[in-house]
Amino acid sequence: MPSGLADLLHDAAVLHRFVDFIEEYCKEQERSQTYVDASGLFFQYVEKLAAGIKQELGREIERAQRFPSRLPILRSNIWTLKNYLRLLHALIKPAADAHTLTIPAPLIELAAHQLQQVERMKNSCVVILLTSEFMYFQRPHTDIKDQARIVETFIPKASFPPKLGFIELPYSQGPSFFTNLAIYHEIGHFVYEELSNSDPPHRHIAALKSAIVRSLNKAFRKRSLDPETFAVAAKILGNWIQEIFCDLFAIRLVGPAFSFAFVEMLGMLGFLSEKATVIFNPTHPATACRFAEHVRMLQNDSWWNAIANIDAGQKKLLERLSNLPQSGYKFYWDESTPGPQSLVQVFLDVVVPAIRKLVRQVTPENVTAVRRFEKARGSIEDCLRVGVVPHPTSSSPLDPVSIINSAFCFYLTALPEVVKRFEGADAENDVAVHSLWTKRLEMWTMKAIEDSQIQDRFRGVRGTALWSSLEKKS
């Protein structure tokens, strides 16, 4: 045996065992749980990859025997593949945990349905991951996809499913509804990455990239940046762009309920302290800047007028922070190190207008959604007030976006009234009772959305040949 072959064989055997386990694990999950379709596609990819890697390992050993001088390189190749599997490994268990009993399935189905109406996103799907992080997060699928494309040159039978995204929900929030509206922001990251990588590039994405170059030239005009520094500055602007894009994208799809959910989430994470709200950091723009964009978009889309009479702390906070002067925004690398302030200014002046245009271009118009909300809100709130799942007053199903916004407004303004009505005045300040009734409200909202989806499906089938034949039989 050539020197070094034993080490290579050992490494290959360890990797073989690792992929063998992963392959069996995915198969077992598919047999024992029910998942949304996208998870199944992901598991099938992992299974094919595992089978392909096992075959490739055999070929690597054969190569090492024929060309012993290549042993160190072949060992590095095995190490690289193992690390790719490490990244996938971090996704597999959270994906397995997110079966339909642990996630807000009607909301996920609704978001997936709305995603199909976004420009260039037809036939896309999202894998839900339940994570131990107390933070919503969209896995950067661009890296995984780029890596998968290269791995495919070594393992040709394992193609990564096209237009597949990953979204993480904190496992503790799986069954809740209102805070899970944050998934719309995470879906925004998926959309942005898909648009950025599409071929040919989306016209407005190309415009945005030109805006980045213009911004950097303007911010650092006195000197030319070296490639590394330029890459860092462009990355920071890219991070800020995505956050604003995703917020506005979410608002376009789900209305002010997203802004309210966002305020709730930031509050839960402790990010709403007075000082923190004006700070830009390398990964996120200042909360005040984000809120200013929220309010601007809601005003332009007529949502702001439609919720004019909502007297809730969340809305007041949005309004107050959005009115803070831009001159007060600061950029810090970390808690104490100031960053280049000029980057913030060019971002606001040059880049943000391009983001607004992009969002409007790729998302469907929502004027009718606002009108439907205004029309249905009263009857939805009436149902919730008496503890009934909201239902339509005509033959048309309720619009899910109207249900979500009406229920959120109701939750923010009328929950104490419901508690008092059903539990009596003694329960007015009882935390456990408030928590229980929030949960109930969320369940009624979710059921109303599910009913609306079923009715919609029924309307789609009625009148078809299949419907007529079923009618005859009955």
Q: Which residues contact another protein (rule: CB under 8 A)?
A: 66-67, 70, 72-73, 76-77, 79-80, 83-84, 87, 90, 133, 135, 137, 139-140, 143-144, 146-147, 150-151, 153-154, 168, 197, 199, 201, 205-207, 209-210, 212-213, 220, 222-235, 283, 333, 337-340, 343
Rounded Cα distance between 325 and 213, Å, is 26
Q: Which is nearer to another protein, 255 or 285 (CB)?
A: 285
Report DSSP state, residue 137: E
Nearest approach, Cβ of residue 116 and another protein (Å): 25
Nearest approach, Cβ of residue 122 and another protein (Å): 21
Rounded Cα distance between 366 and 473, Å, is 41
Q: Which is nearer to another protein, 36 or 237 (CB)?
A: 237
Nearest approach, Cβ of residue 89 and another protein (Å): 11
Q: Which is nearer to another protein, 199 or 274 (CB)?
A: 199
| DSSP H or E stretch at residue 435 | helix 431-461
Nearest approach, Cβ of residue 153 and another protein (Å): 6
Nearest approach, Cβ of residue 71 and another protein (Å): 12
Q: Which is nearer to another protein, 347 or 444 (CB)?
A: 347
For 129, the 3-state DSSP assignment is strand
Residue (of 224, 324, 242) closest to 282 by Cα position: 242
Q: Which is nearer to another protein, 85 or 412 (CB)?
A: 85
Give one DSSP letter per residue of 294-363, joined into a string.
Answer: HHHHHHHTTHHHHTTT---HHHHHHHHHHTS-GGG-EEBSSSS-B--HHHHHHIIIIIHHHHHHHHHHHS
Tell me if the bond preceding 200 is cis, omega within 30° of 0.
yes
CA 462 to chain centre: 34
Q: Which is nearer to another protein, 100 or 197 (CB)?
A: 197
For 162, the 3-state DSSP assignment is coil
Rounded Cα distance between 129 and 107, Å, is 15
Q: Which is nearer to another protein, 73 or 454 (CB)?
A: 73
Give one DSSP letter per residue of 375-401, joined into a string.
Answer: HHHHHHHHHHHTT-----SSSSPPPHH
Q: Which is nearer to another protein, 18 or 84 (CB)?
A: 84
Nearest approach, Cβ of residue 156 and another protein (Å): 11
Q: Which is nearer to another protein, 205 or 398 (CB)?
A: 205
Angle at 326 between CA 322 and CA 330, to 5 degrees: 110
Nearest approach, Cβ of residue 74 and another protein (Å): 9
Rounded Cα distance between 365 and 304, Å, is 16
| DSSP H or E stretch at residue 170 | strand 164-170
* Contact of 158 with 152, CB cutoff 8 Å: yes
Rounded Cα distance between 36 and 58, Å, is 35
Angle formed by the axes of helices 183-197 and 256-269, nearest 10°: 110
Q: Which is nearer to another protein, 72 or 424 (CB)?
A: 72
Nearest approach, Cβ of residue 136 and another protein (Å): 10
Nearest approach, Cβ of residue 77 and another protein (Å): 6
Nearest approach, Cβ of residue 84 and another protein (Å): 6
Nearest approach, Cβ of residue 209 and another protein (Å): 4
Rounded Cα distance between 75 and 71, Å, is 6
The DSSP bridge partners found for residue 169 are 130
Residue 303: CB partners within 8 Å, gap ≥ 6? Answer: 251, 255, 256, 366, 370
Q: Which is nearer to another protein, 111 or 241 (CB)?
A: 241
